[in-house]
Amino acid sequence: MQIASRLTTQARGLSVATRNANDAISVIQTTEAPMKVGNKDIKAGDDLTPKIDGTGIYEGVTRADPLKPTKEELALEAAVANKNIDEAIIQIDSAIARVTAGMADLGAKQNRLTTTVANISNIIENVTASRGRIEDVDFAAETAELTKQQTLQQASTAILAQANQL
């Protein structure tokens, strides 16, 4: 019976571990959700930057400038704009890489926790089944002992009755 009691305690402890692992999975999912949204926003910025061609034209809208710049001014402005665009693209690509790496790390941790929950659930099932078998064996042993004691008592009573008749 003591072994069955220890197995019950072990199963309860494993149930707590399962709840904790599921809580950790929830935290990861909660952390990952804004990263997905942020990654979409960053990628949207990455999609827009190549559309800026450095001439003041953005998606077909021409820049309104009351002063007509010279070709040299336009060339200088285009060079500066292209340099800024290239830097922006590099920064956006870097941000996408960091967010993607973070999401991959969280995904790997979530996968490990999910596997842990599955393993713990399997262990709980096995421990519970073992406890049931042990309790059944203990019950059978106790029943056999009770039957033995009752038989001995009946035999003693019968012998005493015969002795009293003499």
Answer whether residue 61 shows pLDDT above 50. no
**Could you tell me if residue 47 is inside a domain?**
yes
**Could you tell me if residue 71 is inside a domain?**
yes
Q: Could you give the number of structural domains in the chain?
A: 1
Question: Where in the sequence is the domain holding 52, given as residue range(s)?
Answer: 2-128
**Could you tell me if residue 56 is inside a domain?**
yes
**Could you tell me if residue 161 is inside a domain?**
no
**Could you tell me if residue 155 is inside a domain?**
no
**Could you tell me if residue 70 is inside a domain?**
yes
Nearest to 38 by CA among 111, 96, 77: 96
**Could you tell me if residue 148 is inside a domain?**
no
Going by pLDDT thresholds of 50, 70 and 90, the confidence category of residue 110 is very high
CA distance 49 to 46: 6
Mean pLDDT for the chain?
A: 76
pTM above threshold 0.85: no
DSSP 63: P
Query: Per residue, what are the HEC states of 21-47?
Result: HHHHHHHHHHHHHHHHHHHHHHHHHHH
**Could you tell me if residue 141 is inside a domain?**
no
Query: Maximum CA pair distance of the chain?
Result: 142
Q: What is the CATH number of the domain that holds 34?
A: 1.20.1330.10
Q: What is the rounded average pLDDT of the residues 119-133?
A: 89
